[in-house]
Amino acid sequence: MFGYRVPAPDEAMLISGGRRGLGGAPFRVVTGHGKFVLPIFRKTRFLTLSMCESEVTETCVTRQGIALHVRAVIAFKVGNDTESIINAGQRFLSDQEQMSVLTGRIFAGHLRAIIGSMTVEEIVTERQKLAAEVLDTSKTEMAKIGLIVDSLQIQSIDDGDTGYIDAMSAPHKAAIQRQAQIAQAQATQASVEAEQVAARNQAEYARQTAIVKAEYSAEVDRAQAQSAQAGPLAQAHAQQEVLAAQTELAQKAAQLRQQQLVAEIVKPAEAEAERIKVLAIAEAERMKIQAEAAASHDRVALDRMLIDQLPLIVKEAAGGLAGANVNVLNGADGLGEIAAGLVAQGLTILDSVRQNLNGQNSDGRPEKAGGPLELQGFVRTPEKGTDEDKPEEGPSSTA
């Protein structure tokens, strides 16, 4: 609509002409709504209410006499109240950029004053305190020109080539570097220990794995070896049993053969030896009798006859022994007893013959001579043309 003006949300509309504003102000202030302005009779101007920025770079001397280059940034704006708008409008409406210039100059002066009362250590370590003091001291002046400060930030503090700040920070830097080195060393040590632990764990795991693999391999090898040896071992055990049976059979066969040899060779040989022994004994007895007969002239004929008959007696006895069924119970001793018995029997027969043929009277002379001879176990017939004297078959002897 023609003549109706509306300010922006961040602006204040100043209408001059007509009646004056409140408090004797040369204009009326309109914010947040529109206003009908008569053309030609009224004049409308706008004052920004948005945030403005001012940068301050100032060389300040501390209480210790050390020059510091301080850089700060101020964020400010025109106050929202009518009084602040009127004060700012009267001062900056024609050149609103002067607000930043003037604000920077104001803060530069307060910054020099406050830094001059502080030490470098306080300025460096307490920047927030510095900014708060600067704001407090400049608040009254800023209100007079209709401005309010939202924030003040100290961006940098530099001592130039003096090196005071670096020297001041050297112990802290050394301590920090030492702590950093210690932390790095501890981290390195922890890393090395972790690597060693991991290596040991890996080696232990590899060792256990190798042991388990070796045990498994050994078990497999034993199983394969046992499987491979099962057949040969069974065959060997079978052969061993066969050899043991054959050995036992051979031993029994040897024992049987030994018994056969004893029955077939040793026993007959022993019997033959005893027969020869009996013959030898008889021959010796014959020689003895012959010697006795030769010594006695009265008994020559009788002894001659007995001597001639004794070999026949012993021979017949030996022949009967050879053909007899003799059961020897005590080996060679039994055979010796049989032979001794035969010899004794022969001698007994011989004495009986003597007594029968040459009977003696009380004075030792024979009662009769001649006639048939009757021997124990033998019969002699004097008839001519008959067979020779034959021994009667006597019973088998058992010793």
Helices (H) and strands (E) in the chain, counts: 8, 11
What are the CA-CA distances from residue 115 to residues 223, 375, 387 (Å)? 94, 182, 186
Q: Are residues 149 and 263 in the same domain?
A: no
Q: Pick the last residue of a domain from 131, 154, 177.
A: 154
Q: For residue 266, what pLDDT is reported?
A: 77
CATH of the domain at 102: 3.30.479.30
Residue 313 has pLDDT above 60, yes or no: yes
DSSP state of 264: I
Query: Is the confidence at residue 262, as pLDDT, over 50?
Result: yes
> Is the pLDDT at 91 greater than 70, yes or no?
yes
Full DSSP string of 88-148: HHHHHSS-TTHHHHHHHHHHHHHHHHHHHTS-HHHHHH-HHHHHHHHHHHHHHHHHHTTEE
Note the pLDDT of residue 229. 77
Task: With respect to residue 33, please indicate whether it lies within any of the assigned structural domains.
Answer: yes
Q: Across all residues in the chain, what is the average pLDDT? A: 77
What residue spans of 145-266 are helical by DSSP H? 164-261
pLDDT at 228 over 60: yes
At residue 290 the predicted structure's pLDDT band, cuts being 50, 70 and 90, is confident
263/269 Cα distance (integer angstroms): 10
Which one has a higher pLDDT value, 203 or 387? 203
Distance between CA atoms of residues 100 and 75, nearest Å: 9
Domain count, the chain: 2
In a domain, 166, yes or no: no
Please indicate, yes or no, if residue 219 is contained in any of the structural domains: no
Last residue of a domain, one of 137, 154, 171: 154
**pLDDT at residue 60 greater than cutoff 80:** yes
272 with 135, same domain: the answer is no
Cα separation of 203 and 214, whole Å?
Answer: 16
Distance, in Å, from the CA atom of 85 to the CA atom of 48, rounded to the nearest integer, reads: 9
Q: Among 61-75, 200-214, 357-371, where is mean pLDDT lowest? A: 357-371
| Residue 210 belongs to a domain | no
- Which of 154, 188, 216 is a domain's end point? 154
Over the stretch 105-135, which tens digit does the pLDDT of each residue have?
999 988 889 988 888 888 888 888 888 888 8
Residue 51 lies in a domain: yes
Does 79 reside within a domain? yes
> How is residue 98 written in tokens?
């002067």
Could you list the residue range(s) of the whole structural domain that residue 38 is in? 4-56+73-154
For residues 119 and 301, which has the higher predicted lDDT (pLDDT)?
119
pLDDT at 390: 43
Same domain membership, residue 149 and residue 28: yes
Confidence tier at 2 by pLDDT (50, 70, 90): low
Beta-bridged to residue 46, according to DSSP, are 13
Residues 273-286, mean pLDDT to the nearest whole number: 86
Report the alpha-carbon distance of residue 311 to residue 314 in Å, rounded.
5
